[in-house]
Amino acid sequence: MDRDYRDYEEDWEETWKEIVTNPDGALNLDQVKRELSDYSMVMDIASEVYDDITHGQISKVNTTAETIINVANERQDDFYLELYSDDIKLILKENMSDADKLYEIKKYFEIE
């Protein structure tokens, strides 16, 4: 759901009202405190996850999911490119014929 277009009144009615109010409609302050504590913990955890999977590029919990996913995918692509590059360099340094090196590279990438 796009956070810019969320209807806070709808969120209140559908999610929070029943959780944080007493039967008479008054706020249950103890429950509000518990929910805010849980929410704070979730935000802290999400921030740590975003920071880790984006290698420090993103840590703010209000960053769009699309942005986080794109950065994480770029980081993953970079990781695999570096991994493949290192492995291919090792194969190319081997003391074998070019045909054997090509065979090893094809085998590495499971190319027939």
DSSP string, 67-96: HHHHHHHHHHHHHHHHHHHHHHHHHHHSSS
59 domain-assigned: yes
68 domain-assigned: no
SS3 category, 3: helix
| Residue type, position 102, single letter | L
Write down the pLDDT at residue 2.
55
pLDDT per residue as tens digits for the range 21-76: 999 999 999 999 999 999 999 999 999 999 998 989 999 999 999 999 999 999 88
Looking at the structure, do residues 7 and 50 belong to the same domain, yes or no? yes
For 19-50, b/e burial (b = at least 16 CB within 10 A) is ebeeeeeeeeeeeeeeeeeeeeeeeeebeeeb
Mean pLDDT across the chain, nearest whole number?
91
Tell whether the model's pLDDT for residue 3 goes beyond 70.
no
> Whole-model pTM?
0.63
Number of separate domains in the chain: 2
Tell whether the model's pLDDT for residue 15 goes beyond 80.
yes
Parent domain of 15 = 1-63
pLDDT per residue as tens digits for the range 77-93: 888 888 899 999 999 99
Looking at the structure, do residues 5 and 35 belong to the same domain, yes or no? yes
Tell whether the model's pLDDT for residue 1 goes beyond 70.
no
Looking at the structure, do residues 78 and 48 belong to the same domain, yes or no? no
Write down the pLDDT at residue 4.
62
Tell whether the model's pLDDT for residue 102 goes beyond 70.
yes
